[in-house]
Chains A and B, each alone.
Chain A
Amino acid sequence: MDGTPNAATPETLAGYNFAYLDEQTKRMIRRATLKAVAIPGYQVPFGSREMPLPYGWGTGGIQVTASIIGVEDTLKVIDQGADDTTNAVNIRRFFAKTAGVATTEKTAEASIIQTRHRIPEEPLRADQIIVYQVPQPEPLRFIEPREAETRKMHALSEYGIMHVGLYEEIAHFGRITQGYNYPVQVDDRYIMAPSPIPKFDNPKMDHMPALQLFGAGREKRIYAVPPHTKVKSLDFEDHPFTIESWEQTCALCGSEESYLDEVITDDRGSRLFVCSDSDYCRTRRDAGHEGSGLPVPAEPDTTASEPAGESS
């Protein structure tokens, strides 16, 4: 992924470097990224720049993408699993404008996928990189607000407090209630925030052939999971990790396996369940799969059950 502009550089925004960031900054980010790859799950501080998009809207992911993208790359951007959500559209427009690279909505065609809150349903390959936008890189932050303390806890692998937190949830609710940003342990060492993906997506991170990069712009941290690395969702022997599952199938493509969004269709609470991954859903429909197309009437407290999914 050569980020250096060359004679073949496509037309980009006048007055700005290829992919917006200057080459010195990209080099600094690549160094941080290499360090992150070398120490899986470790949060590397970096000199995050102000971007022309607001903090909290993907500036970390954008900086990582900008530092690895080259003219040959094909970029896919998703938010909530979909290519056509406003923020995904906006970030794709940003790179189309500043880097002039090819963009795609097809997971299989992308060399770089920048994402917020989902991992595509289609398994990623070794020649792809997935870049996660991360609001809060520190998995221990809501237990210990002080950075000086959490860095120490990571250095010493002092993670007991995290297990106590999960245990307390089981004691109170009979289950772990964390539904997204569910903490994982990478390569049996660092506990890592997977970003606010639903825990449904956590198993996809384990031994993924694609390189996984995580950028937190406001918090100025980059971390990574190298290809084929063990990623374990924290759990207990008697309370194994489980993922969300639905009684419904996708109303559009009939998928029984994908993560479903719930769309309210009238003022009586009728709901339609559809795939959150818009490309996966469209690909299935193109292949002839069909859902009922019908909304489900409101039937309180019967829509989803848990645990019912596969434990990982």
Chain B
Amino acid sequence: MYVAVKGGDAAIENSQSLLAEERRGDTAVDELDLEQIKQQLSLAVDRVMTEGSLYDEDLAALAIKQARGDIVEAIFLLRAYRTTLPRFGASEPIDTGDMAVRRRISATFKDVPGGQILGPSFDYTHRLLDFTLAANGEPPAPTPVAEAPVDEAMPRVTELLNQEGLIEQESADDDQEVFDLTRESMKFPADREARLQNLARGDEGFLLALGYSTQRGWGRNHPFAGEIRMGEVAVEFTPEELGFPIEIAEITVTECQMVNQFKGSSEVPPQFTRGYGLTFGHCERKAMSMALVDRALRAEELGESIEAPAQDQEFVLAHACNVEASGFVQHLKLPHYVDFQSELVTVRALRKAIRESAANQEDPGMPPAAE
């Protein structure tokens, strides 16, 4: 008697046990601890926190460890945990103008009030494999400390342009209720706050490619990196019973303000416009890509023609989430044999019809087939 081979409890359990073994690897090698991941793979932690939409370095490190370094899987783990957390309110808007800056650069001016601060950056490293690291290198020499601290006042570069009226004004209505992408489904057309929330948790690779495409002429928006800054900001929350804000955390964020050309329209004279990017931790590539795509998605609002993928909000926003994308692409691994059977029936029937009609044509006793 034939018995169909199908999966079952035991197969799933064994597969998961194998996975745990593979994750651990050779037990003769020390197990990674979360502190090591947090300290030494900090940019991976930052990306997982950003796209996982949860600022928690310990949980992000745990997710990276559990996911065996698969970042998208780690993001998924963090998101699935995050969604179970109770929501007790929204913080006050963070003030990146008040950031304790560790890095701040502008590509639009040679010097700016507060100065250019490179901070920790790969930018001017030569990408040469450092074999001393492979040999478990020595701790790096301490970085010399500047004689004077950085300026307290670190005005945003876009505000400097603002004084001349050269750049569009952007003011938020802080009393307006905040849309929450994680609790409500997106509606199209989506306004900018919803778009920015979507991009903030969107896949870095996807946004990088889209941002890049705008630079190559697919929705060109003439960007300049007005300012990129990274550092610590305070998170304040106003508990109802207190009625005034208290500081509940300090988090690291990276902010990118792109300054983009705008030819002007019948109502607005030519001026610069903005694209905005913000991430948890130090995710500079993501922040810049996000700013490019944010600006591209403003095409409609600015009266520009929508011709390129990066300008098309349904295309961009519906496909930016790597947790959704990864799940749906990989669901193709699930059995589809019922639907495939249905296709088999259809294809066989179509082929049979064609074969029969060909046979009729060859048969001289039959009348010729109609054209």
Binding site for A on B (CB under 8 A): 1-2, 4, 6-9, 11-12, 76, 79-80, 82-84, 86, 182-189, 314, 318, 323-324, 326-331, 334-339, 341-346, 348-353, 355
Contacts and interface: CB of A to CB of B under 8 A. Distances in A.
A149 to B, nearest CB: 9
Contacts of B324: 55-56, 218
Among B183, B324, B334, B355, chain A packs the most CB atoms within 10 A around the CB of B334
Contact of B8 (A51, A84, A276): A84
A187 interface: no
Main secondary structure of the interface of A (DSSP, over half): loop
Nearest to A46: B185
A200 interface: yes
Nearest to B77: A52
Contacts of B331: 54-57, 135
A22 B84 contact: yes
Interface in A256-298: 259-263, 265, 272, 274, 276, 293, 295
28 contacts: A22-B84, A46-B185, A50-B80, A51-B83, A54-B323, A55-B326, A55-B327, A55-B331, A56-B327, A57-B331, A59-B327, A84-B8, A85-B7, A89-B8, A89-B12, A93-B9, A116-B334, A135-B328, A148-B188, A179-B346, A218-B324, A218-B327, A252-B2, A259-B338, A261-B4, A276-B337, A276-B341, A304-B348
A180 B83 CA distance: 33
B314 A293 contact: no
Interface string A47-77: 1111110111101000000000000000000
Given A54-B76, A89-B8, 19 more contacts: A46-B185, A47-B182, A51-B83, A55-B328, A57-B327, A79-B335, A86-B334, A87-B335, A93-B12, A147-B188, A173-B350, A179-B339, A180-B338, A198-B339, A198-B341, A200-B342, A252-B1, A293-B1, A306-B345
A218 B76 CA distance: 13
A199 B350 CA distance: 17
Contacts of A49: 83
Interface of A: 16, 20, 22, 45-52, 54-57, 59, 79-82, 84-87, 89-90, 93, 116-118, 135, 145-148, 173-175, 177, 179-181, 196-200, 218, 220-221, 244, 246, 251-252, 259-263, 265, 272, 274, 276, 293, 295, 301-306
A260 B344 CA distance: 12
